[in-house]
Homo-oligomer: A and B are copies of this chain.
Amino acid sequence: MITIQRALISVSDKTGLVPLAQTLHEFGCEIISTGGTGKVLQDNGIPITEIQSVTGNPEAFGGRMKTISFVIESALLFDREKDQAEARTLNIQPIDMVVCNLYPFKNVLESGADLETLIENIDIGGPTMVRAAAKNFKYVAVVTDTADYDRIIAELQANQGALSLETRRRLMRKAFNHTADYDAMIATAMDALDGEQSLRLAFIGGKTLRYGENSHQTAMYYREKEAGANSLYDMNVQHGKELSFNNILDIYGAIESVRRLKDSGCAVIKHTNPCGLCEGTEGVDQRTIFEAAWAGDPVSAFGSIIAFNRPVERNTVEFLALDAEDKSQRKFVEVLIAPKFSAESLEYLQLHKNLRVIEYDTSSAMCPKDLRYLNGSLLVQDSDTELYSKLEPVTDIKADVERLHGLLEFGLKAISSIKSNSIILAREKEGLYQLLGMGAGQPNRLISTKLAIEKSRETLSHEYTGDPDQLEAYIKEEIGKAILVSDAFFPFPDNVELAASQGVKIISQPGGSLRDDLVLAACNRLGVAMIFTGLRHFKH
């Protein structure tokens, strides 16, 4: 423990300053202070020693020189054991604490200030004393964050004005992180002013995962330091086994898949793609939505990751039949995500020991940026948030874009969540928008179309309970009411020909191919209504 007998306080942000200084004062600590800070303290009846009387120097050059001096930095830096005699000879008296926050470069930067103003707001004396105090944390405490004041006050009060080594060490780490962030901001801003684009990212709270994408790869998971409240890292694990690397990847995919659905929705994720997705218009209960999402690919849904964008009640998750006596009826999934799980739903889900249950506010904003690290380089783009630039019927048969509007939006949200080349079929039925089938990640779009149609046929066969002889007619009828959505344009008419042969009547695609005329001619020949959306949705 070090009793704080002498503190140097020089802060730009005066929040919480008085109670902290008051506490120090009550324990007999001498407070050395600079101009503005000193004035606030004196106005509040706290006696101070003016820094000039310690340094022997005036505040000079428009405030550029306040604290930097042989006396102050020596008082912070000297080794209280080895250097004691030398300090006495040089008449250096120790300073045991620095309280300092730096000139608000960030605010000035965000205000769009010019170079001269920015430069004037680069703090030199602050980082010097912060870094000096941090280096000598064995004897000195350095406080750089107003959010720490309460804790410091409590510790001072509990220890007659002293702080522990543990606290000083924690504060030291915070201090170096603070000066690192500060200079990162300055460096990036100065580069940008000269047209040099640089980027500095800081990540904290690294957790070691059991392993990476595969068991022979080690892995860590970090929080982005400057991330807002919707950082994926902050998801709240309510139950279940430790999250794996692949869980986290899939959870991200799951959240992105339901985040943009306006009404209550559910996504079933496998290998980051939604293989089931459903949105219910108002009045449809969540259980029904869950069942319809699951029905999109009930085989792949086993071992999947499921996300909801509305609070979950027990009735919804009872669909998993975790307590079914016949174990083969139990639906095993890896992870469930929702903004909130009711106590009853959580209790039910806990029947499965390993099932991870996660609360995350899926209504929070989409991440504005998308980063891809590629061997010593980084691609940064803003996220794909727009759905379409137009909804233009372009064929002889005009799609009723107004009537289809909800379904089109659903389909475009779905396709934006699926790896390219992607094709989906989606329908509206009984108040539900449902993904009937999807084809993902194919080098050849035609295969994606084939996959999406095959999957849709399976989904429809599975739900059909009527006369087997009428099954094919049913499938064709349902496919005829659905829309086929393509993430990118069709380079040739072959996709249209395949889709039409399987009963597809409405197709949405960005348009813009050199051969749009051939594609449209095929649509007109085959009685297909096509809509151009103007926006591609590649995702890799």
**Measuring CB to CB, which residues of chain A are less than 8 angstroms from any residue of chain B?**
55, 57-58, 60-62, 64-65, 68-70, 73-74, 77-79, 82-83, 86-87, 90, 119, 122, 124-125, 127-128, 131-132, 134-135, 137-138, 169-170, 172-173, 176-177, 179-180, 183-184, 186-187, 190-191, 194, 196-209, 212-225, 227-228, 230-234, 245-246, 248-249, 252, 255-256, 270-273, 275, 297, 299-300, 304, 366-367, 369-384, 386, 389, 419-421, 440-444, 446-447, 451, 535-540
Contact = CB atoms under 8 A, between A and B. Distances in A.
B131 A376 contact: no
Nearest to A246: B538
Nearest to A76: B124
Interface centre among A83, A203, A297 (most CB of B within 10 A): A203
A79 B60 contact: no
Given A119-B135, A180-B180, A214-B384, A231 B375 contact: yes
Given A377-B221, A419-B419, A271 B540 contact: yes
The complex is assembled from copies of this chain, and their number is: 2
A105 to B, nearest CB: 11
A382 B218 contact: yes
A124 to B, nearest CB: 5
Interface centre among A58, A199, A224, A373 (most CB of B within 10 A): A373
A256 B451 CA distance: 28
A22 to B, nearest CB: 30
Nearest to A122: B135
Nearest to A249: B540
A223 B122 CA distance: 27
Interface centre among A227, A367, A538 (most CB of B within 10 A): A538
Nearest to A188: B180
Given A180-B183, A180-B184, A538-B214, A377 B443 contact: no
Nearest to A377: B233
26 contacts: A57-B70, A65-B73, A119-B135, A127-B131, A169-B194, A170-B194, A176-B186, A183-B183, A196-B206, A199-B222, A209-B379, A212-B382, A213-B538, A213-B540, A220-B381, A222-B380, A224-B376, A227-B376, A227-B377, A234-B376, A248-B379, A271-B420, A273-B443, A367-B375, A369-B373, A373-B373
A51 to B, nearest CB: 11
A90 B535 CA distance: 66
Contacts of A138: 119
Nearest to A389: B216
Contact of A68 (B68, B90, B249): B68
A82 B116 CA distance: 14
A200 B181 CA distance: 10
A184 to B, nearest CB: 5
B176 A183 contact: yes
Contacts of A249: 372, 374, 379, 540
Contacts of A234: 376
Given A62-B83, A199-B202, A371-B373, 11 more contacts: A60-B86, A64-B78, A197-B207, A198-B204, A201-B203, A212-B370, A215-B536, A216-B389, A234-B376, A271-B420, A367-B374
A84 B486 CA distance: 69
In the A-B complex, the 3 residue pairs with the closest CB atoms: A441-B441, A197-B206, A227-B376
Contacts of A369: 373
A444 B438 CA distance: 12
A232 B376 contact: yes
